[in-house]
Structure 1
């Protein structure tokens, strides 16, 4: 089974169709502005589904003013419902009426025998999506996107379960070193162990420990932030 990660650039189209009351950020498409005020920033799209009645239900992770975002169902007619959770980083569940292009995209994805490796993420270039399935189905999906959509292939390869899970991207040695570092207090504040301590415990050089820690930390940070 194969996977592809693509960036779907439809931001200019979406901005041109946006409701005047709710706008996406000009410099950061993850930002949500309501009546000229930055309300929330989207961190990831956890789920989207096109229903038989033509509406979409979605769950996205945000940070910002949850209570203010929850009021948009009263201000914007296309948003049927909006329910939010609490906390510093929270989820918003929405049911809304999509524009024609979003409907076409979701219908296209639903047509082929492929699946989405959630979450999706919005970037400066567009919507980043990882899809997996048979190679022929993935190729057919890309070829069938609407002309208004610019699709860029970022990477492709053999699909492995839990690819989006940071721990699933680490090697066995990286996991071993991270577990040892956590147990020894390397990540405590103040730090209770050094790389030299970890090297002595694991029988490795200090340079090897540092290299593995940097590579593991980079993988985890990229999976969360990018």
Structure 2
């Protein structure tokens, strides 16, 4: 397993979306990090973000934005988290679609700098990186900051699985597939995740191979600590 940390910087402005630009333009608000940003089935997006500064002004910007459908803010007057349901632009939609289709996993949260750049770490098999890195074109530039071997802790392993693998594994555990004696079959899992039993079996074999190989590599490395962020 490998990781690569990159800095993605918009070529125009200091954000990839008008809402982010409005927040960046206001000196009383500082964007800190994005914890989740997901493209929903109806084509809209949901984001969990962290920010600081003037909370009242932050909420005013969300309220005034034509792109925001709904929002909620929780925290203190100077540091808070926000849930925002919003309409994406074509660029943000393409970026989220590419991330969803990629086998490379993005570590969350990622930081947002004052210039709008995002420092993001991707984790995956080395051969998957070439076709998985976002391509900026006229929209943004990408700078590789760091790369190397990734030895995840136990609670990091789930995050390195694809979204489909996470769904199948979560369902298998919930139904008792890994209990002794086993309480669920491939067929029962398949019914829950809308897949064929053979597809479920193939995914579970890949998941088990991936997880156990990571345990072995981590143990061989003799270091189970999380890689410190630069």
TM-score normalised over the length of structure 2: 0.58
**Quick check: 1:50–1:107 contact (8 Å CA) kept in 2?**
yes
SS in 2 for 1:12: coil
From 54, 63, 78, the equivalent of 2:43 is: 54
Deviation at 1:13, TM superposition (A): 5.5
From 106, 116, 122, the equivalent of 2:106 is: 116
Name the structure 2 match of 1:79: 68
1:146 and 1:112, CA in 2 relative to 1: closer, same or farther beyond 3 A?
same
> Runs in 1 of length 4+ with deviation above 6 angstroms?
none
Task: Give me the whole-angstrom Cα distance separating, in 1, the residues matched to 2:87 and 2:14.
Answer: 13
Q: Which runs of 5+ in 1 are unaligned?
A: 26-32, 166-221
Deviation at 1:136, TM superposition (A): 1.8
TM-score normalised over the length of structure 1: 0.59
Q: Which runs of 5+ in 2 are unaligned?
A: 157-227
1:99 and 1:66, CA in 2 relative to 1: closer, same or farther beyond 3 A?
same
Task: Please give the root-mean-square deviation of Cα atoms over the aligned residues, in Å.
Answer: 3.2
**Quick check: 1:120–1:128 contact (8 Å CA) kept in 2?**
yes
Task: Give me the whole-angstrom Cα distance separating, in 2, the residues matched to 1:80 and 1:11.
Answer: 27
From 56, 80, 84, the equivalent of 1:94 is: 84
Superposed CA deviations along residues 166-192 of structure 1, whole A, max 9, x for unmatched, are xxxxxxxxxxxxxxxxxxxxxxxxxxx
Aligned length: 157
From 113, 134, 137, the equivalent of 2:128 is: 137
